[in-house]
Amino acid sequence: MWSWVAHRVTGVLIFFFLFVHVLDTALVRVSPEAYDNVVATYKTPIVNVMEYGLVAAILFHALNGLRVVAVDFWSKGPKYQKQMLWTVVGVWVVLMAGAFYPVLQHTLRTLFGS
């Protein structure tokens, strides 16, 4: 049940990001100065942490989506759905740990120095 909720929540978060991304990119045609201000805001540590959250949402949504496809189209999928969920969570944790420094290096260097 919680994987269903997490899948929907991550889908909504990804949709919201895409909506904001289209809007801020459209600013470049309306006002290049406003676009530059928005891009400058994106270089803050808080937004960088939000980017890490975006990576987490996309990665979970993608991995869980593959699990949902396996449950739906593999004849033994429903039998192994719990094991597949824990596999998804395990792979997600490993990949998120690997993405920690590459995604957050700007913030870590800003807060703790080079």
pLDDT digits (tens, 9 = 90+) for 72-107: 999 998 999 999 999 999 999 999 999 999 999 989
Q: Say if residue 7 carries a ligand binding annotation.
A: no
Position 27 pLDDT exceeds 80: yes
Confidence of residue 113 (pLDDT cuts 50, 70, 90): confident
How many Cβ atoms from other residues are within 10 Å of residue 60's Cβ? Answer: 21
CATH architecture assignment, domain 1-112: Up-down Bundle (1.20)
- Return the pLDDT at 64: 96
Q: Is the dihedral of CA 66, 81, 12, 96 positive or negative?
A: negative
What DSSP string runs through 16-70?
A: HHHHHHHHHHHHHHH-HHHHHHHHHHTTSHHHHHHHHHHHHHHHHHHHHHHHHHH
Q: What is the pTM of this model?
A: 0.87
- N- to C-terminal Cα separation, the chain: 43
- Return the pLDDT at 114: 72
Domain boundaries, the chain: 1-112
- Return the pLDDT at 49: 95
pLDDT 10s digits, 31-80: 999 999 999 998 899 999 999 999 999 999 999 999 999 999 999 989 99
Q: What are the tokens at 84?
A: 């597949």
